Structures are given as C-alpha cells and as structure tokens.
C-alpha cells in the first residue's frame, strides 16, 4: 500500500502523523479519533492556487466547507487566503464566528429557507449562488427590503455525466440542483436577475459531482457553460464576468485510485474557455472553483481500537473496532472503499484477510470488507486513511454513540479542534415532559422475570 506523503512509519513500526505517534494520540485523546494533518491541508490550499493561477488570469478558490466544517478549519483556509463555500445557515454561522470576512463567502443550497436568505443578506455574503427561480424571487424581495445589493451567480444544470457514484453526481438533467439550460429555466433566471433592483448578476456556476477522477467531464461541462455565457451576451448584451466551476476533484482512497493533476485540469479547462472567448468575442472571465475533498480528504486519518475478533472458519474473520457507520456513513451510502493498517504494528507483514466491522447494531456496519493485515488482537490500533472529507461533517449519533474528537497535528503538536462528545452532551437537548415522570413514578414493577433458575 502506498501511504500518503505525510504519513510515516517509525523504525519501531508505529504510524506517525504530523510528528505524532498513533499510540500517544490514542492514549491522550481516546479512540475513535479523527486526526487531520495540518500541513497537508495547508499545502493543498497553496497547490491549488498555484496550479490554477498558472492558467487563469483571475482565480478565486473557495473551500467547500461541507467536506469538513469547524471553526479551526474555517480559520485555516482563511489564513491560506482561500474563500469559503457554505451551504447552510449552520455553516455560514460557523464561518462568521471563525472570523471569515463575509465578502469571501459563497452561499449555496438548493432549498435555502427564508431565515437563511435573510441571514446571508444581513451578513453580506460575497455571492449568493441561486439554485432555482423561487429562491431568486425571494432573494430579490429580501434584498429590496434590506436595501442591500446582493451579488448573484446562477447555478446551471449542465446536463453532463460525471463518472462517479450516482448519489454524488449532480450535473444530470434529472437533478434537484441548478437551473436547466435546455428547458429555458436558466435563461429565465438571468432575465429576472437583470430586472431585479438590488440583484447584481456576476456569473454562473456549475458543480457536476464529487470524487471525479477524470478531467473530461469538466471539459464538456465548461463548454456548455461557455456556450451559455455566449448566449446571455447575445440575448441581453450582458457579459457574465464570473464562471464558477464548482468542486469535485477526486482524491486517492486506495492505492489504485489515480486522481488527475490540477495542472492538467487547469490547462484543459482554460483551453476551452480561451477558445470560447475567442469565438464568441467574450472577455476571459474570473474563474472560481470550490474544492472540498481535495483539501481535506487525504489529510484525515481515523484511529480505532480493536475490541474483539470473530473468526468464522472458512467464511470470514471480523476485526471489530470502536466506531463505524456513525462516524463513517460513506461505506453504507456510497459503497466507499478504504485502506487501513495496524497502526501500532505497521511494519509487520499482512498475513490474513479480514473485514473491519464497526460496533453499530447493523449487519451492514462494515468499514472495510477485505483488507490484508497482520493478525490483530484486542487493544491493537487500526488506522483508516483518507477520512478527512465527509466523515466528521456527515457523522451522527446512531445507537447513541458520542461523536469522536477531531485533532489537528503538526510538527509533534496535537490540538483538539472538536471535543469528543460525552454522554452528558448526548442528553443536553433531551427534555423529559413532567407528565412522563409522573407515570414513571407509579409503575415501579420490575419488567424482567425474577433472576435465578427456578428449575
Ligand atoms: N460545490 C458544490 C456546489 C457542492 O455541492 C460540492 C459538494 C462541492 C463544491 C465540493 O465538492 P468536493 O470538491 O468536495 O467533491 N457526501 C459525498 C460528497 C457530496 C458532495 C456534495 N457537494 C461523499 O462523501 O462522497
């Protein structure tokens, strides 16, 4: 297995991330534990800006915070001079609390509520990415009520197939996202935006899907967008200054995954734009991208403790760990595949093929179906790689498991950025209606039969 650049194995066979040994992290912070390598995230931020600015005269990179959104993460991307894409009031609130200048925030969402739109207008987000005509009308009305200029990009549905899991493919015609080009909805949105008193139409947006491993779908989608930009110019004499190409850049989950390079992406996409601009007599637009997974995916590793082994001779060997689908729902949702090692015995040769199962009460709660490992024992540590994106952010409390802590590691330092949930936290918002307590007090009968075998 080829480990990510930032992951080391010490001479005595221990996994080390950001200069921190796995056993120390497990001891100090407990397991399951999400470990984020700070320097990896920072270098991804600078790599993406470097690659894109070689090919685009003006480029704005907004980190898609849905991949992993915490105060510390928002702060980190701000320090790296990236903007932020948010898609809910909660993400927007986190960004503002982290001190992100609102003008660097892009506000997404296919079903923004009235209060979310008001919040966005009140704080003054940099761009509203309008997803449908109802939202547009509401936004127009609210901007008038607040007497605030609101800068808008219209999300187009380009009708392009991205080769990825169909749950994370968003650019097809039959999608809840974006305004259709072929059915005239997108052009209608342009017309209404231009007619609105306080809305300023800046550009168009697409996002064709996630974990995309080939450049081709981007090339096709970019052409569709540029044709639309040309049509808008022709129809309204209006130049759309911004083209937002969304996110979706794939990362390496398994050694066999081969993501494209951002240089290749930028080169191919900029070619399409340059040519379209030439043919349609347009100025080269400002380009925006919204990577989420690319920035945090590979930086994340999740550490688990093995608690039990179940060997079904000739069938399967289960290695059971103290986490699972509540902090990694991606396996059950998208049949996602991962690689893992024994973090405390990382130099030992793999001798058995095992299934790493979680601790939830679901047969499908499996983290990895077949992985070769040394023979694991209770107390060993398992590290699952590439867990930085859409793990913490999609985690839940199924079976009332408290959510794991998240730490940032860097040069031997480890800092908590999200505390581990406690049982007390789990009950913090539970309420007991007084009348249920009264009923409870009346029935003190034991429900189990008397203990002991009467036999
Ligand atoms: N921009 C928009 C408008 C998006 O909807 C998304 C992701 C992104 C940017 C960032 O995409 P990324 O660069 O992270 O691929 N939960 C799924 C992924 C859902 C992505 C949703 N939208 C997963 O775990 O694979």
pLDDT, tens digit, 9 for 90 and up, residues 307-327: 999 999 999 999 999 999 999
Confidence category of residue 227, pLDDT binned at 50, 70, 90: very high
Ligand 1 pocket test, candidate residues 156, 247, 329, most atoms within 8 A of CB: 247
What is the set of domains in the chain, with CATH numbers?
A: 7-36+297-421 (2.40.37.10), 38-296 (3.20.20.10)
pLDDT at residue number 160: 84
* pLDDT for the residue numbered 381: 98
In Å, how far from its chain's centre is CA 339?
Answer: 19
**pTM of the complete model:** 0.96
Ligand 1 center to 437 CA (angstroms): 45
Q: How far is CA 351 from the centre of its chain?
A: 34
* Cα separation, 253 vs 278, whole angstroms: 39
pLDDT classification of 86: cutoffs 50, 70, 90: very high
CA 86, 171, 285, 149 dihedral sign is negative
Pairing of strands 105-107, 33-37: unpaired
Question: Taking all residues of the chain, what is their mean pLDDT, rounded to a whole number?
Answer: 95
Does ligand 1 come within 6 angstroms of the Cβ of 345?
A: no
Atom of ligand 1 nearest to the CA of 210: 15
pLDDT exceeds 60 at position 90: yes
According to DSSP H, which parts of 158-207 are helical?
A: 185-195
Q: Is the CB of 259 under 6 A from ligand 1?
A: no
Tell me, what's the pLDDT at 441? 58
Residue 229 has pLDDT above 90, yes or no: yes
> Residue-wise over 34-60: b if at least 16 C-beta within 10 A, else e?
bbbbbbbbbbbbeebbebbeebbeebb
Q: Which residues contact 144 (CB under 8 A, 6 or more apart)?
A: 196, 197, 198
Tens digits of residue pLDDT in 172-208: 788 899 999 999 999 999 999 999 999 999 999 999 9
Cβ atoms within 10 Å, residue 11: 6
**210 Cβ closer than 6 Å to some ligand 1 atom:** yes
* Mean pLDDT value across residues 363-371: 96
Percent of the chain with pLDDT over 70: 95
Q: Does residue 455 surpass a pLDDT of 60?
A: no
For residue 169, pLDDT over 80 is answered with: no
Q: How far, CA to CA in Å, does 443 sit from each of 360, 430, 436?
A: 31, 22, 11
All residues at 6 or more sequence positions from 360 whose CB lies less than 8 Å from its CB, including other chains? 324, 325, 326, 398, 399, 401
- How far, in whole angstroms, is CA 165 from its chain's centroid? 15
Confidence of residue 438 (pLDDT cuts 50, 70, 90): confident
Is the pLDDT score of 425 beyond 60?
Answer: yes
pLDDT in the model for residue 442: 58
Is residue 163 scored above 80 in pLDDT?
A: no
Query: Quick one: average pLDDT of 254-275?
Result: 97
Residue 328, ligand 1, Cβ within 6 A: no
Residue 451 has pLDDT above 90, yes or no: no
* pLDDT value, residue 449: 77
The residues assigned a catalytic role are: 361
Contacting residues for 254 by C-beta, under 8 A, at least 6 apart: 337, 338, 339
Average pLDDT for 417-437: 96
- What percent of the chain clears pLDDT 90, i.e. is strictly above it? 91
Q: Is 58 helix (H, G, I), strand (E, B) or coil?
A: coil
């Amino acid at each position: 297995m080829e480990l990510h650049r930032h992951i080391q194995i010490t001479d005595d066979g221990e996994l080390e991330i950001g200069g921190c040994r796995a056993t120390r992290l497990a001891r100090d912070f407990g397991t399951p534990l999400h470990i984020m390598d700070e320097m990896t995230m920072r270098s991804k931020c600078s790599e993406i800006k470097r690659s894109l600015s070689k090919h685009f005269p003006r480029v704005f990179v907004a980190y898609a915070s849905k991949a992993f959104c915490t105060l510390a993460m928002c702060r980190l991307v701000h320090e790296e001079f990236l903007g932020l894409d948010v898609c809910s009031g909660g993400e927007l609130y986190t960004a503002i609390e982290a001190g992100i200048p609102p003008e660097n925030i892009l506000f997404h969402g296919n079903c923004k509520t009235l209060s979310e739109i008001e919040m966005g207008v009140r704080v003054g987000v940099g761009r509203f990415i309008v997803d449908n005509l109802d939202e547009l009308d509401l936004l127009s009305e609210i901007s008038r009520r607040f007497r605030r200029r609101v800068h808008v990009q219209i999300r187009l549905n380009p009708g392009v197939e991205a080769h990825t899991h169909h749950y994370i493919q968003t650019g097809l015609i039959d999608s809840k996202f974006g305004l259709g080009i072929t059915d005239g909805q997108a052009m209608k949105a342009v017309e209404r935006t231009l007619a609105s008193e306080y809305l300023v139409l800046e550009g168009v947006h697409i996002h064709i899907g996630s974990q995309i491993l080939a450049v081709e779908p981007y090339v096709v989608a970019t052409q569709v967008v540029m044709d639309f930009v040309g049509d808008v110019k022709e129809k309204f004499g209006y130049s759309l200054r911004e083209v937002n190409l969304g996110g979706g850049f794939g990362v390496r989950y398994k050694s066999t995954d081969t993501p494209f390079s951002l240089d290749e992406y930028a080169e191919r996409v900029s070619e399409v734009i340059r040519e379209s601009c030439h043919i349609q007599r347009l100025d080269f637009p400002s380009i925006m991208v919204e990577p989420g997974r690319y920035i945090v995916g590979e930086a994340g590793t999740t550490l688990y403790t093995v608690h039990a082994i179940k060997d079904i001779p000739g069938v399967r060997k289960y290695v059971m760990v103290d986490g699972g689908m509540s902090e990694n729902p991606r396996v059950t949702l998208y049949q996602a595949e991962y690689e893992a090692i024994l973090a405390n015995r990382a130099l030992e040769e793999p001798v058995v093929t095992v299934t790493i199962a979680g601790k939830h009460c679901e047969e499908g709660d499996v983290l990895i179906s077949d992985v070769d490992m040394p023979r694991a024992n209770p107390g060993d540590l398992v590290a699952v790689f590439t867990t930085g994106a859409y793990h913490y952010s999609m985690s839940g409390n199924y079976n009332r498991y408290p959510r794991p802590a998240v730490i940032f590691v860097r040069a031997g330092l480890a800092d908590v950025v999200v505390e581990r949930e406690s049982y007390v936290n789990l009950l913090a918002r539970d309420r007991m209606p007084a009348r249920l307590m009264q009923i409870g007090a009346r029935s003190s009968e034991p429900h189990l039969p008397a203990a002991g075998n009467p036999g």
